[in-house]
Each structure stands twice: as C-alpha cells, then as structure tokens.
Amino acid sequence: MKKDILKHRLVPEHTILSKSEIKKIIKELDIHPEQLPKIKQDDPVCKAIEAKSGDILKITRKSHTAGKFVTYRLVLD
C-alpha cells in the first residue's frame, strides 16, 4: 500500500515555481540558481510532485521562530 507522503504532517508544502516566479526569486535574492540549496530529483517529494531537474521548488514550512518560513531549492538529478 502506497501512502501519499505529501499529506504527512512532517512533510512541508512543496510547489514547483513557474518561469516568471523563478525570475522574480532570482532577482530578489540576487543569485545564480546554482547558489540555491539543492534537492535531489529522486527525493520522494520530488517524485511525488513530478519535479524535473532544473526546477525550483518553493518550500513552505512551519518554523519555531517565525511561524511560517519560505525557502527555495533547486532540483538536481
């Protein structure tokens, strides 16, 4: 039986960013995409949301200090 890992309470929300969103983020952080933290394409979450190499994921998770925290990861194979 396969469970939907995205619904697990320990798995934060991952969304794939669109081209325009990527542009915005890259400009905002003033970086090259290579400088973002990475996530592997065969990571269970990446498989579940079908992220491809080169995509940027937006991760929204709960935080002890800030309540809600948004971060980004570059998908690599």
Partner 1 sequence: MKGILKKIAQINFGLMSPEDIRKMSVTKIVTPDTYDEDGYPIEAGLMDPRLGVIDPGLKCRSCGSKGGDCQGHFGHISIARPVIHVGFADTIHKILRSTCKECARVLLTEAEIIDYKDRIKNMIKNEESITGIIKEVYTAARREKCPHCDEEQEDIKIDKPVSIVEGNYKLTPSEVRERLEKIPEEDHLLLGVNPKVAKPEWMVLTVLPVPPVTVRPSITLETGERSEDDLTHKLVDILRINQRLKENMEAGAPQLIVEDLWELLQYHVTTYFDNEASGVPPARHRSGRPLKTLAQRLKGKEGRFRSNLSGKRVNFSARTVISPDPNISINEVGVPEMIAKEVTVPIYVTPWNIEEMKKFINNGPKVHPGANYVERPDGRKVRVYPETKDAIIEKLEPGFRVERHLIDGDIVLFNRQPSLHRMSMMAHEVKVLPYKTFRLNLCVCPPYNADFDGDEMNMHVFQTEESRAEAKSLMRVQEHILSPRFGGPIIGGIHDHISGAYLLTREGSIFEEDEVFQILKHAKMDLPKPKGKPWTGKEIFSLLLPEDMNMVYRAEICGKCDECLKQECKNDAYVVIEDGQLKSGVIDDKAFGSFAGKILDSVVKEYGTDKAREFLDSATKLAISGIMKKGFTTSTDDEEIPQEAKERIEELLSKAEARVEILIEAYENEELEALPGRSLEETLEMKIMQVLGEARDKSGEIAEKYFDINKNHAVVMALTGARGSMLNLTQIAACVGQQSVRGGRIDRGYNERTLPHFKKGELGAKARGFVHSSYKTGLDPLEFFFHAMGGREGLVDTAIRTAQSGYMQRRLVNALQDLSVKPDGTVRDNRGVIIQTMYGEDKVDPAKSDYGKVADIDRVIEEIRIKSGK
Residues 36-75 within binding reach of partner 1 (CB under 8 A): 36-37, 63-66, 69-72
Q: Indicate whether 34 belongs to the interface with partner 1 (CB under 8 A).
A: yes
**Binds partner 1 (CB under 8 A): choice among 15, 18, 35, 53:** 35
Nearest partner of 38 among 12, 73, 6, 7, judged by Cα? 73
What are the tokens at 57? 């994921």
What are the tokens at 18? 């669109």
Query: Which x/- pattern over 10-29 shows residues binding partner 1 (rule: CB under 8 A)?
Result: -------------------x
DSSP string, 9-50: TTS-EEEEPPHHHHHHHHHHHT--GGGS-EEETTSHHHHHHT
**Binds partner 1 (CB under 8 A): choice among 5, 31, 47, 54:** 31
User: Rule CB under 8 A: which residues touch partner 1?
Assistant: 29-32, 34-37, 63-66, 69-72
